[in-house]
Amino acid sequence: MSRFAVLTSGGDAPGMNAAVRAVVRTGVAHGHQVFGVRGGYTGLIAGDFSALGPRDVGGIIGRGGTVLGSTRCQQLRTDAGQEAAIAQMRTNGIGGLIVIGGNGSQAGNFALSRRGLRVVGVASTIDNDLIGADVAIGATTALDVALEAIDRLRVTAASHKRGFLVEVMGRDSGHLALVAGIAGGAEAIVIPELAVDPEAVAGQIRAAYERGKSHAIVVVAEGAKYNAQGLQNYFQEHAQRLGFELRVTTLGHVQRGGTPGVFDRMIATRLGVAAVEHLERDLHGVLLGIKDGRVGSTALAEVVGGIKPLETPLLDMASLLEK
């Protein structure tokens, strides 16, 4: 029997709880003692963890957020913070750590791994910007939330013959905006990976109007050079003739707290089980994510600091279909 810990870190994502449940139940079923850390790395440094049993994770598979709690822990970026985290694990005889989270969380995980800790990461972020995961836990549910909003906004846009600039999350990445834009039938998509020319966006809106469309939906990534409000300001300052009157809707954190859909529950469960199996087989220093439909493992060294490229076919598809 071994002892290991699980924590959730960074922005909460729908499906994190399903992963925690899978880790705890698999670990206990295999004869291990599993510790749940409260409040991410902050809790690890403070020694805020306790052993969990199967009943402690009952009824959470369908709940958004994370029952363990989460933080963005600045202390873990420091030598002192990393040493304190490792000391807590060693003092309590805990030999392995599973970290469910996105880029910042896996960077912390990598730092602990370089100090000799046996760590396994589980890819979880609504931003879907992690190398090593075609689709991270939380992304599809967050997209469903964004799509429901876009569909509703299109109804209002068409009723009033208006345009909407809809801003979605994603931090520095356009993955969420690109998929929300394609699946939401947007007339234009604005993402950080492509240079934004507000004149070109105005041209796309005007062209939609001239083609006789009843509405124009522009999906804007929050990390783009001009976010939704920035574009609106530009259009107003430059008295652009767009045809449509424009409104701005920023979805923000609404996208994060959704009830996880079947896909997120399933991948979270598969990744949680696999994380335990990796620790058992002494395979560590890796991130587990869904790749080509299977559980894939990527060295944390490759994940951290890298930028996940956008899928070129999706970019081409977006510009073809927005007409």
Question: Please, which residue, 243 or 289, has the CB nearer to ligand F6P?
Answer: 289
Tell me if 127 contacts ligand F6P by CB under 6 A: yes
Q: Which segments of the chain are extended strands (E)? A: 3-8, 33-37, 49-52, 96-101, 118-123, 162-168, 188-190, 216-221, 245-250, 286-291, 294-299
284-307: b (≥16 Cβ within 10 Å) or e? bbbbbbbeeeebbbbebeebbeee
Look up 127 and say whether it is catalytic. yes
Question: Please, which residue, 127 or 187, has the CB nearer to ligand F6P?
Answer: 127
Tell me if 141 contacts ligand F6P by CB under 6 A: no
Cβ pair 150, 219 in contact under 8 A? yes
Place of tokens 């208006």: 162
* Minimum gap (Å) between residue 255 Cβ and ligand F6P: 7
Question: Please, which residue, 52 or 76, has the CB nearer to ligand F6P?
Answer: 76
Question: Please, which residue, 40 or 198, has the CB nearer to ligand F6P?
Answer: 40
From residue 87 to residue 106, the character string flagging contacts with ligand F6P as x (rule: CB under 6 A) and all else as - is: ---------------x----
Of positions 11, 64, 163, 289, contacts ligand F6P by CB under 6 A: 11
Tell me if 126 contacts ligand F6P by CB under 6 A: yes
Tell me if 175 contacts ligand F6P by CB under 6 A: no
How far apart are alpha carbons 17 and 52 in whole angstroms?
13
* Minimum gap (Å) between residue 142 Cβ and ligand F6P: 8
Return phi, psi of residue 299, to 5°: -60, 135
Cβ pair 75, 45 in contact under 8 A? yes
What is the secondary structure of 200-223 as a DSSP string? HHHHHHHHHHHTT-S-EEEEEETT
Tell me if 9 contacts ligand F6P by CB under 6 A: no
Give the torsion sign (CA, 183, 186, 187, 193).
negative
Instruction: Give how far the C-alpha of residue 43 lies from the chain's centroid of Cα atoms, to the nearest Å.
Output: 21
Tell me if 171 contacts ligand F6P by CB under 6 A: yes
Catalytic residue, chosen from 12, 127, 129, 134, is 127
Q: For residue 27, with 0-12 CB atoms within 10 Å meaning exposed, 13-18 middle and 19 or more buried, which class applies?
A: buried
Of positions 25, 32, 256, 278, contacts ligand F6P by CB under 6 A: 256
Of positions 23, 169, 208, 286, contacts ligand F6P by CB under 6 A: 169
* Minimum gap (Å) between residue 5 Cβ and ligand F6P: 22
Token pair of 21 as six digits: 């449940």
Tell me if 21 contacts ligand F6P by CB under 6 A: no
Give the catalytic positions in this structure: 127
| Residues binding ligand F6P (CB under 6 A) | 11, 72, 102, 125-127, 169-171, 222, 256
